[in-house]
Amino acid sequence: MKVLVVGKGGREHALAWKIARSPRVRKIFAAPGSPGIASLAHCLPDMRLDTPVSEIERLSAEIERLRSFALEEAIDLTVVGPEDCLAAGIVDRFREVGLRIFGPTAAAARIECDKVFSKELMARIGVPSADHRAFSDSEAAADYIRDRGAPIVIKATGLAAGKGAVVARTEGEALATIREMMEDRIFGEAGAQVVVEEFMTGEEASLFALSDGEDFLTLVPAQDHKAIGEGDVGPNTGGMGAYAPAPVMTPDLIAEAEDRVVRPVLAEMRRLGTPFQGVLYCGLMMTASGPRVVEFNCRFGDPEAQVVLPLMEADIVDVMEAVVDGSIGQMKAAVPTPPSHAAAVCVVMASQGYPGPYETGVEITGLDTFDGDDGRTLAFHAGTALRDGRLVTAGGRIVGITAVASDIRSAVDGAYAAVDAVSFEGRYFRRDIAHRALHRAPAG
């Protein structure tokens, strides 16, 4: 069969790598892909427009181009990585012409793309989450913050590339964040409305539920490291590393999250007439009262995909087709859980200055040593490009180095040993990825 992967980041590279391991797949296309993905797939060129257009118009034109390509090439399955394409309705547009595509409709993608919708849904059906208020007026939001005090969480309601949530430790920081989001519009229209939330205490974890709208199966839980600095300090990023499994989520807590979060949310989405088909990313806080929802996403996490997918033993194409066909319930018994002795760790290497301004076009060396054939040490390209035959940086997050091993300590050691082989001027990475898991690991 022929598969089209939409996207160009580390998540999409991990998806292409996993899809390529399916014996059923004859050819993979990627749009637009990356130098790393190009080793697995035929990458389509970036779309060029003659006149400036809005982001909504650009996405619409790109979706139309991809739909035409999928029809002409007789693509058997399209897999969508980024949330902006899902929010723009790529699934709806492909389904209109009978194309098979993995991901939620635009209406179902609101679970991520509209935080007010998500919070109101949870409040309506009693899903445990942080207390919140939504604001479209910055002065009203500021008054609420002065009344509540800090620490407090401020979130841009729309999509902000994983950077739209700020944990404000002081009232001054919270008020400054409101000004930046709502008045300065650092996230554009995504910050025109904000959600101000109670600060929850606990440890975060990510649980992925692959749902066909009726039933679901969950994958091994992971933990992301969003803060730029070691010890989880500093501004949030798109993610500086991840590991799986996350021991904070015991089997009992996974079952509790399925019962109190996943099942009722999927049921409510069906009741609304917008069944959720695809990956429901449940960002959870493990609190003294059990799992509480931090956020939902409508796609695989990045960089969590770079550790969850290498641990997945099932053929991902079979699983994705079951989601599309509404038969995931029949797949559950056929999808083995990762062995208890397996672990994966991903360390993200970033450009100096990220998540603020950073330089691009810096030459990268050492990535040619990773072929991924053994599935043990992998390099997933996140922000790279080829210029004049040289591999160079082309983003804030450059590459995710993943190691798979028999235990978390060995996976950490393998990942950092591989990081040492990759070099570019100004490279930055955290040196404490998986520190919480290591603290739980038995000595020796």
Report d(CA 68, CA 44) in Å as an integer. 13
Quick check: 411 and 426 in contact, CB under 8 A? no
Judgement on whether residues 191 and 236 belong to the same structural domain of the protein: no
Judgement on whether residues 185 and 232 belong to the same structural domain of the protein: no
What are 129's two structure tokens? 């989450």
What are 93's two structure tokens? 């547009």
Judgement on whether residues 152 and 241 belong to the same structural domain of the protein: no
Residue 116 domain flag = no
pLDDT, block means (10 residues), the chain with 444 residues:
97 98 97 96 82 83 96 98 95 98 98 94 96 93 94 89 83 95 91 92 96 96 96 92 96 96 98 98 95 96 97 95 95 68 94 96 92 80 96 98 96 96 97 94 56
Residue 126 domain flag = no
Residue 115 domain flag = no
Q: Which range marks the domain in which residue 304 is found?
A: 203-440
pLDDT for 369 equals: 80
Quick check: 40 and 111 in contact, CB under 8 A? no
Judgement on whether residues 191 and 280 belong to the same structural domain of the protein: no
Residue 269 domain flag = yes
Report d(CA 393, CA 363) in Å as an integer. 6
Sign, CA dihedral 125-298-295-147, equals negative
Quick check: 269 and 251 in contact, CB under 8 A? no
pLDDT for 442 equals: 59
Judgement on whether residues 185 and 279 belong to the same structural domain of the protein: no
What's 373's domain CATH number? 3.30.470.20
pLDDT for 164 equals: 82
Report d(CA 317, CA 79) in Å as an integer. 10
Where does a domain end: 142, 172, 198? 198
Judgement on whether residues 253 and 400 belong to the same structural domain of the protein: yes
Residue 118 domain flag = no
- Cis before 245? omega within 30: yes
Judgement on whether residues 364 and 302 belong to the same structural domain of the protein: yes
Distance of CA 46 to the CA centre of its chain: 22
Judgement on whether residues 28 and 175 belong to the same structural domain of the protein: no
pLDDT for 337 equals: 65
Judgement on whether residues 300 and 208 belong to the same structural domain of the protein: yes
Residue 339 domain flag = yes
Quick check: 282 and 293 in contact, CB under 8 A? yes
What's 149's domain CATH number? 3.30.1490.20
pLDDT for 444 equals: 46
Q: Would residue 409 be called left, alpha or beta, if left means φ above 0 and alpha means ψ between -120 and 50 degrees?
A: alpha
User: For residue 176, what are the contacts with CB-CB under 8 A and spacing of at least 6?
Assistant: none
Residue 390 domain flag = yes
What's 20's domain CATH number? 3.40.50.20
Residue with tokens 């029809």: 71
Where does a domain end: 198, 228, 253? 198
Residue 42 domain flag = yes
Tell me the helices (H) and strands (E) count for the chain, helix number first: 15, 22
Domains held by the chain: number: 3
Judgement on whether residues 372 and 226 belong to the same structural domain of the protein: yes
Where does a domain end: 150, 167, 198? 198
Judgement on whether residues 273 and 152 belong to the same structural domain of the protein: no
Judgement on whether residues 220 and 330 belong to the same structural domain of the protein: yes
Report d(CA 167, CA 155) in Å as an integer. 9
